[in-house]
């Protein structure tokens, strides 16, 4: 194959993995927005907690845990952290305006980031796994196995989530709450409990993203800040509360970012993703796939 084509395909694959990664982060954010109308600025920091959990589990003295088990443990830990945050901070202010809640999540973000800074310092930590160094080659195209794992995992999670919200009692309740909170209270759905479960699932997804993706990057206290914003951009682009729309918008952002940094300018790649986000907002205020919502 000509080298240009190989490079192009590699950029596309990078874009898809980046998109898959953003999609995983975005799914959680979008769920929590849909169900609890909560803009969670701490979402990326829960991802960061997942990153450090991964780092600690990979460096346990004496025992080497298998990677799949580590992934599960990271998801469990982040889900528990999410649960704790929901109980202590979000739950008591569930009925206040979205502004207050958003500021509270920013407060959580400040606390988590500085806690990480105190515990682990600002030095980037490497979290390589056996898969992040393995490269497979198909027709001159080289892909790291870690990237393939992410792509497959995200598609699997997306389908599983679809099944979950359509076929389980809790999933149906989540959909109902996102459509009409007052009505749900009237028919006896425990809305705070649903919000709590959603928060735990959302945090677990952030943990999964951390367990799968941080082997390709490195772990630092601020690793989640820009990520939260990109994922929020995807949530808005997808149409607020539209989980599927947000999922595709995340892939779009990943592709645009990978292609732009590959072909035009690496330094300006974030300018383009955020610029695109703001521009689309002006043209289509309800997002790419959204209907108008009141908030």
Partner 1 sequence: MKRGVQIVLWLLVAGFLVILPQLATTNYLVNVMITTVMWIIFALSFDLSAGHVGAVSLGHPVFYGVGAYVTALVAPSLGLDFIGSLLLSAFAMGLLALVSGIAFFRISEVSFAIGTLGALIIAQLLANNAYDITGGPMCTQNVPRPVLHIPGSGPVTVVEPVHYYYLLLPLLGLAILIYWRLTQSRIGRAFAAVRQDEVRASAMGIYPKRYKLLAFIAGAAIIGALGSFQAQYITVVCPSELTISYTLNLLIIVFVGGAGSMRGVILGAVLFSLLPRLLEIVTDVPPAWQQLIYGLILLIVIRFLPEGLDSLIERALQRLRGTRTEAKPDAA
Q: Which of 44, 206, 204, 57 is nearest to 112 (CA)?
A: 44
Nearest C-alpha neighbor of 172 from the set 184, 159, 182, 155 = 184
Which one of the spans 47-55, 137-145, 168-176, 233-241 is the region binding partner 1 (CB under 8 A)? 233-241
Task: Determine, following the binding rule CB under 8 A, whether residue 270 of this chain makes contact with partner 1.
Answer: yes
- For partner 1, which residue of 39, 74, 81, 195 counts as binding (CB under 8 A)? 39
Sole window of 61-69, 92-100, 136-144, 160-168 interacting with partner 1 (rule: CB under 8 A): 92-100
Long-range contacts of 264-270 (CB under 8 A, 24+ apart): 270/226
100 binds partner 1 (CB under 8 A): yes
Q: Which of 87, 163, 271, 291 binds partner 1 (CB under 8 A)?
A: 271
| Contact flag: residue 115 with partner 1 (CB under 8 A) | yes
Q: Which is nearer to partner 1, 12 or 103 (CB)?
A: 103
Phi/psi at 144 (nearest 5 deg)? -80, 140
Of 17-25, 139-147, 185-193, 224-232, which part binds partner 1 (CB under 8 A)? 224-232
- Considering the rule CB under 8 A, would residue 195 count as an interface residue with partner 1? no
Which of 233, 246, 250, 253 is close enough to bind partner 1 by CB under 8 A?
Answer: 233
Phi-psi region of 191 (alpha: psi -120 to 50; beta: other; left: phi over 0): alpha
**CB 100, min distance to partner 1, A:** 6
Question: Does 106 contact partner 1 by CB under 8 A?
Answer: yes
Kindly state the tokens that stand for 146.
């870690």
Cα–Cα dist 173/245, whole Å: 20
Smallest distance from partner 1 to CB 87, Å: 12
> Residue 70 or 256: which CB sits closer to partner 1?
256
Q: How far is CA 238 from the centre of its chain?
A: 14
Residue 229 binds partner 1 (CB under 8 A) = yes
**Comparing C-alpha atoms, which of 223, 224, 231, 227 is closest to residue 247?**
231
d(CA 166, CA 175): 8
96 binds partner 1 (CB under 8 A): yes
Q: Which is nearer to partner 1, 104 or 216 (CB)?
A: 104
Cα 62 from Cα 24, distance rounded (Å): 32
183 counts as binding partner 1 under rule CB under 8 A:
no
The count of residues interacting with partner 1 (CB under 8 A) is 44
User: Considering only 50-58, 150-158, 197-205, 270-278, which stretch makes contact with partner 1 by CB under 8 A?
Assistant: 270-278
Decide whether 29 or 70 has the Cβ nearer to partner 1. 29
Q: Is 93 in the site for partner 1 (CB under 8 A)?
A: yes
Task: State how far the Cα of 174 lies from the Cα of 180, in Å rounded to an integer.
Answer: 10
Whether the CB-CB separation of 260 and 165 falls below 8 Å is answered with: no
135 Cβ neighbours under 8 A, 6+ residues apart = 142, 143, 144, 145
As a whole number of angstroms, the distance between CA 6 and CA 2 comes to 7
- Taking residue 294's Cβ as centre, other Cβ atoms within 10 Å add up to 5
Tokens 């082997």 locate to 215
Is 128 a residue that touches partner 1 (CB under 8 A)? no
Q: Which residues bind partner 1 (CB under 8 A)?
A: 39, 89, 92-93, 96-100, 102-104, 106-111, 113-115, 117-118, 225-226, 229, 232-233, 236, 240, 267-268, 270-271, 274-275, 277-278, 281-282, 285, 293-295
């Amino acid at each position: 194959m000509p080298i240009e084509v190989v490079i192009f395909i590699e950029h596309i694959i990078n874009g898809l993995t980046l998109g898959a990664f953003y999609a995983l982060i975005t799914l959680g954010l979008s769920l929590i927005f849909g169900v609890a109308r909560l803009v969670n600025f701490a979402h990326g920091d829960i991802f960061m907690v997942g990153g450090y959990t991964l780092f600690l589990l990979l460096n346990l003295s004496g025992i080497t845990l298998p990677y799949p088990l580590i992934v599960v443990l990271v998801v469990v830990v982040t889900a528990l952290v999410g649960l704790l945050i929901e109980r202590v901070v979000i739950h008591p202010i569930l009925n206040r305006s979205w502004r207050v809640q958003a500021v509270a999540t920013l407060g959580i973000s400040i606390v988590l980031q500085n806690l990480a800074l105190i515990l682990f310092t600002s030095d980037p930590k490497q979290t390589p796994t056996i898969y992040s160094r393995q490269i497979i080659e198909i027709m001159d195209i080289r892909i790291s196995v870690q990237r393939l794992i992410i792509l497959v995992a995200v598609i699997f999670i997306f389908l599983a989530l679809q099944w979950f919200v359509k076929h389980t009692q809790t999933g149906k309740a989540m959909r109902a709450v996102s459509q009409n909170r007052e009505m749900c209270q009237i028919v006896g759905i425990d809305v705070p409990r649903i919000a709590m479960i959603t928060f735990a699932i959302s945090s677990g997804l952030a943990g999964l993203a951390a367990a799968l993706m941080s082997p390709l990057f490195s772990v630092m206290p601020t690793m989640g800040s820009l990520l939260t914003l990109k994922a929020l951009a995807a949530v808005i682009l997808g149409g607020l509360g539209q989980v599927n729309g947000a999922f595709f918008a995340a892939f779009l952002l990943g592709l645009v970012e990978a292609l732009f940094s590959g072909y035009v300018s690496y330094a300006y790649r974030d300018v383009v993703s955020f610029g695109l986000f703001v521009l689309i907002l002006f043209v289509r205020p309800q997002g790419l796939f959204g209907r108008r919502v009141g908030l």
